[in-house]
A and B are shown apart, each in its own frame.
Chain A
Amino acid sequence: MSENPTTHTPIAVGDGAAIPHKSDAGLFTAWRIAFFGSILLCLFLAFGRPDQYLAIFKFIPDGILVTFKVTVGGILLAIVFGLIAGLGRISSNRLINGAASLYVEIIRGVPLLVQLFYIYYALGRFVKIPDIVSAIIAMAFCYGAYMAEIFRAGIQSIPKGQMEAALSLGMSRRQAMRQVILPQAFKVVLPPIGNEFIALLKDSSLVSILAVADLLRRGREYASESFNYFETYTVIALVYLIMTLFFSKLISMMEERLNEGR
């Protein structure tokens, strides 16, 4: 692993928030303005207009926690699904390859909202699992398909010579994959996984339709009883924005750290 592969194919997957790069000064400024601006706006609304806004901020914290749980649980499980399906997609075993491809094709062809309804209520028919777990499974099942494509592209982006070299050193294919290819592929897939994480964070708002008490649902509950629609959704949008901006920054920092190690 002393060889530094410099010709990674860039992977063009992702619809997450733009992850700021160090070199991108313009983006970086925009990030700062948006992030600190929305925090300041939240503080201003909570303490400057407490009669309208403070109650909203008091109502939503448990929703933020649920959104966070669904997102983190969803992404971790999606990575597991994605890795398995991604390896399946490059497998030379036709059965495994076919099954993995079928999974990816089906999931990518059905809208996430439909999948959520389907998995949530279909699971409910057969097994008794808590709502939040169903939501996480549904999210992970969907994102796993996209993740599989990322892993497949990431693994395929590692030059063939790496595998050949590992095999000629006497490693088994499995060993080579685990110890040579995957560690390198991980660096390649990290940015797109970061993108998926941000996208999943935003899409997690869809679980509010399943009566999971996430951030958006808490906001809707508040608005539907107080009728302060404008104020409520202003706060909800700001909180989502702060969360996505925070995590996109975190991910870009992780990426830089990894690149330094090269």
Chain B
Amino acid sequence: MNVLRTLIVAAAMLAAMSLTALAAPKSIKVATDATWPPMEMVDANKQIVGYDIDFLNAVAKEAGVSVEFKNTAWDGIFAGLDSGQYDAIISSVTITDERKAKYDFTDAYTSIGQILVVPKTDKSSKTIADLKGKKVGSQIGTTGAMEVKKVAGVESKTYDEIGLAFEDMAAGRISGVVCDEPVAAHFALQKKEYKEKFKIVGKAFTKEGYGIVVKKGNKELVALLNKGIKAVKAKNLDTKIHTKWVK
């Protein structure tokens, strides 16, 4: 009798445990290169903040998962996904054919373009092509770097972080920087050290969409995140996040 009771209790406990495990929200690890303000950056309290962070938290809430962010250097962020150090990347990643061949993307969640920033002393340059024979900086492995390399006669210089490119332009070592529109606006229009020195020229010259990256074949996670993105867009939460971060 006693044995039977113990068995029943044990079975009930096991069932309860498995139930709580099922009910507990699934947690996903997400990498971001927090050197890309205002999309992702580290604030004064050493917290990772920004548009992408708020956006993914909103998506995760809608999809019923919890997110753990991991600050990872951009150069190698895809390699970490390959080796399974995290489940996804949200880091202003433009959906491109080359990347789609190796990784899976969610639907695009926002659209941006590449834009050129030059020193205020440069009165004539309108496009990258006007900087022939000069050095133009961008972050390594970004669509900005790819755009610079496309222009013949311009020397491409790649940096680990976009902030270092702007600092090098302030030091006069390069004549232009190409990056995503919101990032350019952050550095050239808002940062007080650079506001006086730099200007954005022209309009964005590419049309790109940011997507969340997952390992090739992880259909389950893509579906889950897409569901969350749809819900966030339906509730118009993304517009609120946009106005909060992008000025």
Pairing of A with B:
yes
Contacting residues, chain A, for B158 (C-beta < 8 A): 211, 213, 217, 221
Let me know if A229 and B79 touch, CB within 8 A.
yes
Let me know if B171 and A224 touch, CB within 8 A.
no
Given A211-B157, A225-B146, check contact A220 B171 (CB 8 Å). Answer: no
**Could you tell me the distance between the alpha carbons of A240 and B76 in the complex, rounded to whole angstroms?**
20
Contacting residues, chain B, for A226 (C-beta < 8 A): 98
Q: Identify A211's interface contact among B76, B99, B146, B168, CB under 8 A.
A: B168
Given A211-B157, A220-B140, A225-B98, check contact A124 B79 (CB 8 Å). Answer: no
Q: Which of B146-194 contact A (CB under 8 A)?
A: 146, 157-160, 164-165, 167-168, 170-173
Let me know if A211 and B75 touch, CB within 8 A.
no
Let me know if B171 and A125 touch, CB within 8 A.
yes
CB of B78 within 8 Å of the partner chain:
yes
Main secondary structure of the interface of A (DSSP, over half): helix
Let me know if A221 and B159 touch, CB within 8 A.
no
**Could you tell me the distance between the alpha carbons of A128 and B169 in the complex, rounded to whole angstroms?**
11
**Could you tell me the distance between the alpha carbons of A220 and B168 in the complex, rounded to whole angstroms?**
20
Given A124-B168, A211-B157, A211-B158, check contact A224 B75 (CB 8 Å). Answer: yes
CB of B233 within 8 Å of the partner chain:
no
Name the CB-closest residue of A to B99: A227
B187 CB, nearest partner CB in chain A, Å: 16
A65 CB, nearest partner CB in chain B, Å: 15
Contacting residues, chain B, for A11 (C-beta < 8 A): none
Q: Which of B193-224 contact A (CB under 8 A)?
A: none
A241 CB, nearest partner CB in chain B, Å: 21
Let me know if B167 and A121 touch, CB within 8 A.
yes
Let me know if B160 and A211 touch, CB within 8 A.
yes
CB of B107 within 8 Å of the partner chain:
no
CB of B141 within 8 Å of the partner chain:
yes
- Chain A interface residues toward B at CB < 8 A: 121, 124-125, 128, 130-131, 209, 211, 213, 217, 220-221, 223-227, 229
Can you name 23 A-B residue pairings with CB atoms under 8 Å? Answer: A121-B167, A124-B167, A124-B171, A124-B173, A128-B172, A130-B173, A131-B157, A209-B160, A211-B157, A211-B164, A211-B165, A213-B158, A217-B140, A220-B75, A220-B140, A220-B141, A223-B75, A224-B78, A225-B146, A227-B78, A227-B79, A227-B102, A229-B76
Q: Which 8 A-B pairs have the closest CB atoms?
A: A224-B141, A124-B171, A229-B79, A211-B159, A128-B172, A227-B102, A224-B75, A224-B140
- Chain B interface residues toward A at CB < 8 A: 74-76, 78-79, 82, 98-99, 102, 137, 140-141, 145-146, 157-160, 164-165, 167-168, 170-173
Extra contacts besides A211-B157, A225-B145 (13): CB < 8 Å: A131-B168, A211-B137, A211-B168, A213-B158, A217-B158, A220-B75, A221-B145, A223-B75, A224-B76, A224-B78, A224-B141, A227-B99, A227-B102
